[in-house]
Amino acid sequence: MADKQVYRLKGLSCTNCAANFEKNLRQIESIQEAEVNFSAAKLTIFGDATIEQLEQAGAFDHIKVYAHNQGTPRIPVYKKRENLLTLSSLLLIIVGYSFYFQLGENHVATVGAFLLSIIVGGYDLIRAGIKNIAKLQFDMKTLMTIAIIGAAIIGEWAEAAVIVFLFALSEALEGYSMDKARNSIKSLMEIAPNDATIKRGKQLVQISVEDVRIGDTMIVKPGEKIPMDGIVREGRSFVNQAAITGESAPVEKKVKSTVYAGTVNEEGALVVEVTKLSEDSTIAKIIHLVEEAQTKKAPTQAFVDRFAKYYTPAIMLIALMVMVIPPLLGGEWQTWMYNGLAVLVVGCPCALVISTPVAIVTAIGNAARNGVLIKGGIHLEQLATINTIAFDKTGTITVGKPVVVEVNAIHGTKEELIQLAGSLERYSEHPIARAILKKAHDVSLLEATQFQSYTGKGIVAFIDGVCYKVGNAKLFEGYDLPIVSGGTVVYVGSDEQILGYIKVADQPRKGIKQHVQKLYQLGIVKTVMLTGDVENVAKQIGEESGITEVKAELFPEEKLSHIKRVKERYRVAMVGDGINDAPALAEAHVGIAMGGAGTDVALETADIALMGDDVSKLADTISLSKRTLRIIKENIILALSLKVVALLLVIPGWLTLWLAIFADMGATLLVVANALRLMRKTAEIDSHSRDHHEIT
């Protein structure tokens, strides 16, 4: 495959145009494959072409092409070519009407002004429409073009001009609202600085983030935005990570903490080792995933598209029948021609076609701004129908940072036990391992070999030729274990005997009970906690968090089979950290990962990722999904019922072109305004997250 190139687009006005643009691009010799992402206004090509060539392929829609990293200039609304043309056509209509009242309806000047208005405002539309008619493609533009030409033929110049103007206005509105919805992501993109201060030898140099290498040392001063992902090597500060996690409370950063590009360093200077290239940073990944998400079609949208495909030709057929049948039965052909045109205008599916995408794109953008990554409209729609939530315990219900609370040696000293456990846990990623290592931080660890990790059990390794084990009772089958009551117990032993045990404890998250309560208020009927931990600990945490069902001592594959079982009767979402519960996340109707900023796995395996550690976002997101689904339904019903009512008016002959125009325009306006409501956080949710803000 040839080189992949990504461009940003400006001026792309409709999904149909995107498809045509793609088609034109594929005809360019040097381009093997082209993909236009309408919602993200992005073009990906495999091959080679100049910007001029690309723009020429998009000339029919006046598409402007920009290099991916250049950032598109924001053209003010009043300077956009389409908007200026639309405005001119309105002015010409006003001129037309003043002639109409002074000189009469059929005066040359009147007709001329209206005709000019039609040409100015409708040039692109009519050109596209006529092309479509020639190719027998019946879409919205075809419909409108026939209506406009028909109205002109029967001498209704004023109506024709107004149809043109209103269609142009609704297109401008569509462009404006999609832009607005996309902007939430663009503002994320502008978030990371372009330059970084890097230490080269003894000198500090200011260089472009593209030239920074992994392993470089970066200096971030107080008040500055962090330009790259990295790990703190010196210094201490608080960092506002709202851009990524949506949580506005600053997070403490000290040596070894991870920092993210685009977040704001508030107090101290930090010396950071760069760990990721600029294009691989967490924020870049989020932007990429959100852009992908906004283009994926939600089920409702697919339905609307399919519907529009049959609906548009059907309307044309009805219009034709209205024009032909009554005159054959003795009606006045002029009147019925007029009625038929009105049917065409009413039939325009503009409102219907835009109803779903605006809502989905707006909602996904809103979520992204609040630190929630939704990887497609389909997940948003699925989430709205969930009635059961399964939680992983560690790191989801609990803070996920267990601490050692007790060390008991049976043979040897406590120090030896900790040293041994630490030497084995050194290579484990498990939160328990981190707790033990913390306890062992001032002990010199031993060299362990042939390290093996048993998921859901623990670790086995060799030290000086002797086999040692650290883990739960399952790992020590056949041993004579001491009975230890309460808490999570980690046994330490050799091949032959048990040497002692370490007790660890993890805290439930602050406010978890209220968050779970909130889920019940949102219509969740069942909550389950799935964990590999022992029964008594699991039960206690279940009680403290208000979760109704607890399944303990599960292996990861048992978490999966449990989800499968619940799925038979409920619509289930699984919430986890994505580390050892990825299969369960994938199996659930919706897989939700917590702490997405920290782990790439979580970002990749989940359908929805909460970037931060704030559980309250779960309820917020469910509530957003419900609002979105409700608004989509309202929009579809609104768009269709307005049209049906207007269409029925044809029978008594009450439908005028004017009524048709206003029904169409009104529907589009209402639908867009309704969808843009999703940009707001609701007051209720706002106060909710403020009340239970986490300080962890």
Stretch that binds Mg ion, among 319-327, 394-402, 614-622, 653-661 (CB under 5 A): 394-402
Nearer to ligand ADP by C-beta: 130 or 409? Answer: 409
* 394 binds Mg ion, rule: CB under 5 A: yes
Question: Of the listed 61, 216, 392, 581, which one is catalytic?
Answer: 392
* 303 neighbors 355 (Cβ within 8 angstroms): no
Q: Does 428 bind ligand ADP (CB under 6 A)?
A: yes
Closest separation in Å from C-beta 599 to Mg ion: 11
Tell me which of 22, 216, 392, 664 binds ligand ADP, using CB under 6 A: 392
689 interacts with ligand ADP by CB under 6 A: no
Rg (CA), the chain: 32
Residue 107: alpha-carbon gap to chain centroid: 55
Interaction with ligand ADP in 458-477: which residues (CB under 6 A)? 458-459, 470-472
Are 365 and 290 within 8 A, CB to CB?
yes
Residues in the interface with Mg ion (CB under 5 A) total 2
CB of 183 to ligand ADP, least distance (A): 39
Query: Is residue 390 a contact point for ligand ADP (CB under 6 A)?
Result: no
Listed ranges 111-119, 321-329, 487-495, 573-581: which one lies at the site for Mg ion (CB under 5 A):
573-581
In whole angstroms, the minimum distance from the beta carbon of 256 to ligand ADP comes to 20
Indicate the SS3 state at residue 468.
Answer: strand
Query: Do residues 8 and 72 make contact, with C-beta atoms less than 8 angstroms apart?
Result: yes
| CA gap 454, 428 in Å, rounded | 10
**Which segments of 241-321 are extended strands (E)?**
251-253, 258-259, 264-265, 270-274
Report the site for Mg ion in 574-613 (rule: CB under 5 A). 580
Q: Do 26 and 11 contact (CB within 8 A), yes or no?
A: no
Percentages (nearest 5) of helix, strand, coil residues in the chain: 50, 20, 30
Q: Nearer to ligand ADP by C-beta: 337 or 433?
A: 433
Nearest to 197 by CA among 118, 257, 274: 274
Q: Return the bridge partners of 498, or none.
A: 493
Query: Which among 194, 218, 191 has a CA at the least distance from the CA of 205?
Result: 218
Comparing CB distances to Mg ion, the nearer of 356 and 394 is 394
The one among 423, 488, 616, 628 contacting ligand ADP by CB under 6 A: 488
Please name which of 690, 674, 588 lies closest in space to residue 627, comparing C-alpha atoms: 674
432 is an interface residue for ligand ADP by CB under 6 A: yes
State yes or no: residue 170 binds Mg ion (CB under 5 A): no
What minimum distance in Å lies between the beta carbon of 671 and ligand ADP?
A: 45
433 binds ligand ADP per the rule CB under 6 A:
yes
Residue 456 touches which of Mg ion, ligand ADP, none (Cβ within 5-8 Å per kind): ligand ADP
659, amino acid identity? L
- Let me know: does 10 contact 75? Beta carbons within 8 Å: yes
Question: Counting contacts by CB under 5 A, is residue 282 touching Mg ion?
Answer: no
Q: Which of 435, 447, 428, 427 is nearest to 407 (CA)?
A: 435
Q: Kindly report the CA angle at 98 between 92 and 101, in degrees rounded to 5?
A: 140
Residue nearest to ligand ADP (CB): 532
CB 422 within 8 A of CB 445: yes
Beta carbon nearer to Mg ion, 282 or 394: 394
Residue with tokens 């993210």: 260
The yes-or-no answer on residue 392 being catalytic is yes
| Least Å from the CB of residue 487 to Mg ion | 18
Four-point Cα dihedral 574, 578, 579, 584, nearest 10: 40
The contact mask relative to Mg ion for 300-319 (x = CB under 5 A, - = no) is --------------------
Contacts of ligand ADP in 2-61 (CB under 6 A): none
Backbone φ and ψ for 624, nearest 5 degrees, come out as -60, -40
Shortest spacing between CB 552 and Mg ion, in angstroms: 13
Q: Is 533 one of the binding residues for ligand ADP (CB under 6 A)? A: yes
Q: Which of 189, 232, 380, 490 binds ligand ADP (CB under 6 A)?
A: 490
With binding defined as CB under 6 A, does residue 342 bind ligand ADP?
A: no
Least distance to ligand ADP, CB of residue 510, Å: 20
The residue within the footprint of ligand ADP, chosen from 42, 430, 515, 643 (CB under 6 A), is 430
Contact of residue 511 among ligand ADP, Mg ion, none (CB under 5-8 Å per partner type): none
Structure tokens at 384: 């709205």
CB of 525 to Mg ion, least distance (A): 25
In the complex with ligand ADP, the residue whose CB is nearer, 428 or 674, is 428
408 vs 453, beta carbon nearer Mg ion: 453
DSSP assignment of 474-533: GGGTTS-PPP--SSEEEEEEESSSEEEEEEEE-PBPTTHHHHHHHHHHTT--EEEEE-SS
Select 576 or 612, whichever has its Cβ closest to Mg ion. Answer: 576
Q: Is the dihedral of CA 293, 295, 297, 298 positive or negative?
A: positive
Judged by CB under 6 A, does residue 563 bind ligand ADP?
Answer: no
Comparing CB distances to ligand ADP, the nearer of 184 and 531 is: 531
- Please give the Cα distance from 241 to 250 (Å, whole number): 7
Amino acid at 582: A
Cα–Cα distances in angstroms (integers) from residue 570 to residues 318, 425, 522, in the given order: 44, 39, 15
Stretch that binds Mg ion, among 193-201, 234-242, 334-342, 387-395 (CB under 5 A): 387-395
Q: Where do contacts with ligand ADP occur on this chain (CB under 6 A)?
A: 392-394, 425, 428, 430, 432-433, 455-459, 470-472, 488, 490, 531-533, 556, 580
| Catalytic residue numbers, as ranges | 392
User: In the complex, which residues of this chain contact Mg ion (CB under 5 A)?
Assistant: 394, 580
